[in-house]
Amino acid sequence: MTEKEYKKKWRQERANKGLCQFCSSPTNGKQLCDACLLKQYERKKAMREERTQKGLCPNCCLPAPKGGTCEKCRLKSNKAKINRKSNGLCNRCGADAGGQSMCNTCKEKQKIVDIARREQRRENGLCVYCGNIAEGKSRCSECRNRRSALEHNRKLKSLCIKCGKHPATRSFCEICYYKMTANRYFNSYKMWTQLKELLNSQKCLCPYSGELLLPGINMSLDHKVPRSEGGSDQLDNLQWVYAPINCMKWNLSEHDFLLIVKKIADHRMVGK
């Protein structure tokens, strides 16, 4: 067995066990763990930058225009992307993507790389989107103005200012509203479907007033047991309520809040 065949077999065994091909760490079904994936990205990035500085193509090392690829690699890349797109394949690896531009594996890889790049730029005081000097927390003035103009145009068309795909009653569409709420409470956008199911289980009604709840308009997420009393962010401790009622309830428990409401109602009845 040659060395190449041995390495191939060794990597295949690790992949079958769900381990990283470089460090043998668990990968949850991926080829590389997050740490090795980031190291590989940084290594390839350094190699491409070195080739670019020498006036070479970052892919094949042939002479190329400054900051670009050679004509051969450019034509090859464009042709491959066109063929993959017409066949409903991933533009990156050529795997089945279900008609989308990238498969789920490549999306996860790109997501990890994007997060790492943004964190690095934020630490260096750069714009997380373009890499220029940031004015404020994370964006430069150019990216901020571009985003503001985009949101203004979407608002004029009555579209969601975040995704621009769906109609919006106010600023956000229903899906983006659920996603932002899920990210706020669970630090994950993927929980938005469970928040929607929670509203459906309440038949879109406020449990206190019976008011019809409309996503992004008049409803708010409430803790049955407040955080100040040890309540968690688990779904069984959450409920959708009418937004003004949630403001009145504040950090009270459900029992204490109903007692105060009863006192107010009794007092008003006595006054009459």
How much of the chain exceeds pLDDT 70, in percent?
98
Indicate the angle between helix axes 174-186 and 192-201, nearest 10 degrees. Answer: 110
Each domain of the chain, given as residue ranges in start order, spans 174-262
Alpha carbon of 190 to those of 51, 175, 184, 195: distances in Å? 40, 11, 12, 10
Helices (H), 54-173: 71-86, 104-123, 141-156
Q: Cα(58)–Cα(118) distance, rounded to whole angstroms?
A: 23
- Whether 5 shows a pLDDT value over 90: the answer reads no
Query: How many C-alpha atoms does 134 have within 13 Å on its Cβ side?
Result: 17
Worst-scoring range by mean pLDDT, 88-102, 147-161, 224-238, 245-259?
88-102
* CATH 1.10.30 at 174-262, yes or no: yes
Does this model's pTM top 0.75? My answer is no
Taking only the tens place, the pLDDT of each residue in 165-183 is 888 878 899 999 999 999 9
DSSP 3-state of 45: helix
- Whether 38 shows a pLDDT value over 70: the answer reads yes
